[in-house]
Structure 1
């Protein structure tokens, strides 16, 4: 797929419609939906849609699986180009697991993806805020929540592991998905991993910012499940 990234122009006037300091202190609150799309944007010449962006991600993963990576946008000139500003086309909420690096498994390059990573790919307040910024201000068209096979955080939540420090806060966030999937047939860990992906999608959709972008057909939120053995990402629904 030949693509050109969307050009985003966030004017001072547009941002002021959100209220002073909106970006730095919370990017909108309930009741501002009428101003939600006030940020001025300019579409790329091929007018990328969420569906086209999703296909670009899946095509890139297919190249990765088949060992046909193009390694796009990884040159010195690209580095210099994006030093002036970023225009990513998709956002990824992924697990911090070192085996699932987003730019590699989707065969993308510098400035292409806006990535948030956290153990268990959970949508914390801070992650949601980051993704709101990525979609509303930077113009990403898709948010993909990427969980993966044999996720250690999900497995620990299933086992009710006793953990030190603040690791337990991650497991607490995953436990509802473990509970909701416990009666499903099949592999318990895989079921819980996929249930956790879907739960995080619902959490993201509860964001006023993101839900308004979805209604305006400027954003799509989807789930992906990464197979550690093959490298393939399958959509989860």
Structure 2
């Protein structure tokens, strides 16, 4: 797959940024990434005490591929027999008071129509470790949450879940095509989607749909590259990262990579 994250024309189009500040931010990110790589082995030694405090439950025994198969099976259940997607909340709530051991981490959109536990088959409390924000982007808090799920809670699978008709992606497309000024924090919020929007301009097919796919792919790649913790776990075969798109029309989750 091609992850050309920084096309030559990206920064000239992004509204309201100072070029020097962007370069400074990139330099800081590179420095921090290098620092993380250098201290990863030492830092991970401290995870055991954090994990003991976080949960008295043993991590899931599922492999990354088994976790992915379980999500696919759950989505098929949601599509074909949604009446069976019911959780026994009372029993599970009591069982989880001592901790958690989720078997998958899902980075999804805040869109109220995209409920990860539901679309993966009516999953119960304690099964998914979920991060949600508009546009399913990997900001600082989300990256830390994903690392915590993988390294501390033992979640073997990370899914970046985009969806059809995403409002955040539509907003980024407006900025990329028309230079639209977005109010408040909405403008900065969609900045991370802009490189995908710029890369997809003029491509065959629906512009917004193309950007939804491209942005999810780039976010999955970013997690694998910028998190030294996740990268190490992927290299050891303990964690797998995939991206997927949810159809609002059919309820189907398409896993793409």
Distance 1:73 1:36 in 2: 37
Distance 1:126 1:84 in 2: 25
Corresponding residue number in structure 2 for 1:185: 204
Deviation for aligned residue 1:170: 1.6
Corresponding residue number in structure 1 for 2:147: 132
Distance 1:216 1:233 in 2: 27
Deviation for aligned residue 1:163: 1.9
Among 120, 124, 133, the residue aligned to 1:118: 133
- Find out whether 1:34 has 2:41 as its counterpart: yes
Corresponding residue number in structure 1 for 2:23: none
| Structure 1 unmatched runs, 5+ | 1-27
Distance 1:211 1:56, change over 3 A: same
Distance 1:212 1:196 in 2: 23
Distance 1:125 1:56 in 2: 28
Corresponding residue number in structure 1 for 2:67: 53
Distance 1:231 1:177 in 2: 25
Deviation for aligned residue 1:71: 3.5
Q: After the TM superposition, which of the residue ranges 199-208 and 179-188 deviates more from structure 2?
A: 179-188
- Find out whether 1:89 has 2:99 as its counterpart: no
TM-score in terms of structure 2 length: 0.76
- Find out whether 1:166 has 2:180 as its counterpart: no
Distance 1:215 1:96 in 2: 30
Deviation for aligned residue 1:36: 6.0
Corresponding residue number in structure 2 for 1:143: 158
Q: Which runs of 4+ in 1 moved over 6 A?
A: none
Q: After the TM superposition, which of the residue ranges 174-183 and 123-132 deviates more from structure 2?
A: 174-183
Among 199, 212, 224, the residue aligned to 2:244: 224
Distance 1:73 1:155 in 2: 34
Deviation for aligned residue 1:202: 1.3
SS in 1 for 2:36: coil
SS in 1 for 2:234: helix
Distance 1:79 1:192, change over 3 A: same
Deviation for aligned residue 1:43: 5.8
Distance 1:87 1:70, change over 3 A: farther
TM-score in terms of structure 1 length: 0.82
Among 215, 235, 240, the residue aligned to 1:196: 215
Instruction: Give yes or no for contact 1:60–1:69 (8 Å, CA) kept in 2.
Output: no
Give deviations 1:93-114, integer Å, cap 9, x for gaps: 0000000011000121101000
Give deviations 1:176-207, integer Å, cap 9, x for gaps: 00011223211111100000001101110121
Corresponding residue number in structure 2 for 1:20: none
Question: What's the RMSD between the two structures over aligned residues?
Answer: 1.9
Deviation for aligned residue 1:35: 4.2
Distance 1:65 1:169, change over 3 A: same
Corresponding residue number in structure 1 for 2:228: 208
Distance 2:244 2:74 in 1: 13
| Structure 2 unmatched runs, 5+ | 1-34, 52-57
